[in-house]
A and B are shown apart, each in its own frame.
Chain A
Amino acid sequence: MSEGTLYDKVWDRHRVTTLPNGQDQLFIGLHLIHEVTSPQAFGMLRERGLELARPDLTHATVDHIVPTDDRDRPFENDAAEEMYAELERNLEGTNIDFDDPSSGNQGIVHVIGPEQGITQPGKTIVCGDSHTSTHGAFGALAFGIGTSQIRDVFATQTVAMEKKKVRKIEVTGELGEDVTAKDVILTIIRRLGTDGGVGYVYEYAGEAIESLGMEGRMSICNMSIEGGARAGYVNPDETTYAWLRETDEFADDPERFEELKPYWESVRSDPDAEYDDVVTIDGSAIEPVVTWGTTPGQGIGISEEIPEPESLPEDKRETARRAQKHMGVEPGETMAGYDIDVAFLGSCTNARLSDLRAGAEIVKSRQVDDSVRAMVVPGSQRVKTAAEREGLDEVFTEAGFEWRNPGCSMCLGMNDDQLVGDEACASSSNRNFVGRQGSKEGRTVLMSPRMVAAAAITGEVTDVRDLPKAEVKA
């Protein structure tokens, strides 16, 4: 059993009681909601005549179904319009903060929480979305929940959960040139498996993690769930505090910041904390990673060969064979040179300002290959505005990218941004499952924003280190 970790401390501070079934009842500090997983929960609440317990700790936005081009209401897509209108109806008269597109604060739920400063160390944060683990980057305990649990949080501001084990993942050394947080997390998932984290919460530590900015840490924590871990976190430090100081919550209220900081410091894992498991990964050995298959665990370095299914553990072989058939790749080849039709720079994994800057650095003064449809979908309206202030929109559009409005977009193809037929997509998103991007024959290759940008330019999966960079920042 772990002891003295951030997970243990935050858990203990939020534990209301132990329920008769042995689960703990945990108080929730922030409940984020969106249009896809909340309507049924609001419905259940009404059915039982229950009230919202803490609307003041609930925060809403729209991201999954919103169009990223024409956003005039009513939306062209009837189902999308109905879901949006249902959320509006459910929020009416509740005092729940709602970041709709007219607010200028709308965006992917896992982008807006951190940028507004409501994501904080030592908070428990839930949302009906598995990528809620993202918020762990700030030292919050954050995890995705199902609709029945959303109902529980609505009615009681608590969830019933079992405590998990804690695995510390220490990434040592310095990351190489063009090696990003995305490459680190894809390496971790490859090494520990897509189910390696089941029953665990991941604590990310070590020099390579600590030297990342908050946005990189978010990319790592975001994909904890792809490794099977429902939550992942990084201990809060000066990087975390520097970010928080600039947010809405604290920019004008430095006293509040100083008031809370001792609590944030107190939840950091103790130097002598005990872990259920510790894994060490050499960060300096990681190269840009791309996936060759249809699970996020099927990743390889850009110069590595696609594995023979027979060389894999027995339980991974059949999945690998199916994946190679779907992707049309052969063992022994590398992924470099794999033709792509679409480049997608977006999603809650990689659509923050630093991700857009990284992509822009690659595409500046270049042209998207004729065979490629390329789009940038900023993570939030604020990210979009900040990027436009730096002129990144022009860099992208001049190169031939579409510059869209914020939303989940082609990460899961719930709006009109979808792959068609067997199109192959170089994607900065988080899941390469068959059908994920809207077409069941579609092929997704996961990679970092830099690698997406490089693939857009050449029309094929490309080692970004082979392309010279341009200076874009003013």
Chain B
Amino acid sequence: MSDETEIPSVTRVAGSGVPIRGNDIDTDQIIPARFLKVITFDGLGEFAFFDQRFDDEDNPKDHPFNEERFQDANVLVVNANFGCGSSREHAPQALKRWGIDAIVGESFAEIFAGNCLALGIPTVTADTEAIETLQDWIDENPGSEIGIDVAAETVVYDDETIDAEVDEAQRKALVDGIWDTTALMKSNATAIEATAESLPYIDDPSLRAGEADD
């Protein structure tokens, strides 16, 4: 058993930004379904936003992820309801493998934000105006430093400080390094069993074991 995986805390993310504009950018745009036919997440990075980035002949189109000046970016800045749609973890996995370490936006779809957390990617929110101003600034100053302080809930760039928000449970999980929940939850085995036993619809697993080979 090796469930004592060391989980790094994520208190700060620093780097440069890449703006992806538009509300309601769904998971089918982030990673089209045809790229889900894989059994590992390796290599998904090159397919992030694929249909926005390439035409039918695979020629590159205008998209921030194709622009030379954003190739080293690790902070994605988006608008409202980003990541809506399916539960595919392939979406944040593709972004992560492209190089994204944190996402700042107006709002996020819930499952998407949860999937990001499971990968240690903060999803930081701020108001419409602050986001749009930040996106414009990145456009004018590609490669310039943006600092996200998860604990203090701020996004710092230029000489601006955005008063941002990080969902409380997410913040605590990232800062305390407890965002990888498997080991944490497994340690509550006795309580899990007690909960299961209290539920009228759960059979005792030891009774089930006898009929497992039927």
Are B169 and A230 closer than 8 Å at their CB atoms? no
Residue in B closest to A64 when the chains form the complex, CB atoms: B36
Are A29 and B85 in contact, with the CB atoms below 8 A? no
Among A19, A149, A195, point to the contact of B107 (Cβ < 8 A). Answer: A195
Q: Which of A271-279, A372-380, A427-435 contacts B (4 or more CB under 8 A)?
A: A427-435
Chain B residue, CB-CB nearest to A149 = B118
Q: Which 8 A-B pairs have the closest CB atoms?
A: A148-B118, A146-B115, A144-B87, A79-B37, A146-B89, A147-B89, A39-B39, A21-B173
B36 A129 Cβ-Cβ under 8 A: no
With A23-B169, A149-B118 given, can you name 16 additional A-B contacts, CB distance below 8 Å?
A19-B178, A19-B185, A20-B172, A21-B169, A95-B212, A128-B87, A144-B86, A145-B111, A149-B114, A156-B185, A194-B84, A433-B26, A433-B29, A434-B28, A435-B29, A435-B51
Please, which residues of chain A bring their CB within 8 A of the CB of B128? Answer: 315
0/1 string, A408-420, CB within 8 A of B gives 1 = 0000111000000
Q: Which residues of A contact B (CB under 8 A)?
A: 13-17, 19-23, 25, 27, 29, 36-37, 39-40, 43, 48-50, 53-54, 56-57, 64-65, 77, 79-80, 82-83, 86, 95, 120, 122-123, 128-130, 132, 144-149, 151-152, 155-160, 162, 194-195, 198-199, 225, 228, 230, 259-260, 263, 295, 315-316, 318-319, 322, 412-414, 431, 433-436, 438, 440
Q: Is there an interface contact between A319 and B28, defined as CB atoms closer than 8 Å?
A: no
Q: Is B36 touching A21 in the complex (CB atoms < 8 A)?
A: no
Residues of chain B lying within 8 A (CB to CB) of residue A319: 22-24
A13→B198 contact, CB < 8 A: yes
Closest to B204 in A: A56
Question: Which chain A positions have C-beta within 8 A of B186?
Answer: 50, 155-156
**Bound complex: CA of A436 vs CA of B30, how far in Å?**
11
**How far, in angstroms, from A149 to B118 measured CA to CA in the complex?**
8
Tell whether, in the assembled complex, residue A15 and residue B178 are in contact, meaning their CB atoms are under 8 Å apart: no
Q: Confirm or deny: B3 has a beta carbon within 8 angstroms of a beta carbon on chain A.
A: yes
Question: Chain A contacts of B37 at CB under 8 A?
Answer: 36, 65, 77, 79-80, 82-83, 414
Q: How far is the CA of A144 from the CA of B88 in the complex (A)?
A: 9
CB of B14 within 8 Å of the partner chain: no
Query: Are A50 and B118 neighbours in the complex by a CB distance under 8 Å?
Result: no
Find chain A residues with CB under 8 A from B168 CB. 22
- The stretch from B66-74, B155-163, B189-197 touching chain A is B189-197
Does B133 count as interface, using CB distance less than 8 angstroms? no
> Which chain A residues border B59 with CB–CB below 8 Å?
none
Docked pose: A96 CA to B203 CA in angstroms: 15
Task: Please give the distance in Å from B164's CB to the nearest CB on chain A.
Answer: 17
Residues of A within 8 A of B28 (CB): 412, 431, 433-436
Contact B89 A148 (CB under 8 A): yes
Can you list 8 contacts pairing A with B, beta carbon distance less than 8 Å?
Answer: A21-B179, A37-B88, A49-B1, A83-B39, A128-B87, A146-B89, A146-B115, A440-B32
Chain B residue at smallest Cβ distance from A14: B195
Q: Given that A48-B3, A431-B85, A433-B26 are known contacts, is A414 also in contact with B199, CB under 8 Å in the complex?
A: no
- Return the chain A residue nearest B119 by Cβ: A148
Q: Check if B199 sits within 8 Å of A130, measured CB to CB.
A: no
User: Which of B87, B119, B203 has the most chain A CB within a 10 Å cutoff?
Assistant: B87
Contact A146 to B22, CB < 8 A, known contacts A16-B188, A19-B178, A82-B39? no
> A313 to nearest B CB, angstroms?
11
Contacting pair B192 A27 (CB below 8 A): yes
Contact (Cβ within 8 A) B184 A29: no
| C-alpha spacing A144/B110, complex, angstroms | 10
Shortest A171–chain B CB gap in Å is 23
**B38-65 CB contact bits vs A (8 Å, 1 = yes)?**
1111000000000100000000000000
Cross-chain contact B81 with A194 (CB below 8 angstroms): yes
Chain B contacts with A in 1-26, Cβ cutoff 8 A? 1-3, 5, 22-24, 26
Q: Which residues of A contact B198 (CB under 8 A)?
A: 13
Hey, which chain A residues are within 8 Å of B40, CB to CB? Answer: 39-40, 43
Q: A49-B1, A433-B26, A435-B29 are in contact. Are A21 and B172 (CB under 8 A)?
A: yes
Contact A56 B201 (CB under 8 A): no
- Our pick among A15, A86, A230, A438 for the contact of B111 (Cβ within 8 Å) is A230
Please indicate the chain B residues that have their CB under 8 angstroms from the CB of A29 in the complex.
199, 201-202
Find the B residue at minimum CB distance from A30: B201
Q: How far is the CB of B168 from chain A (nearest CB, A)?
A: 6
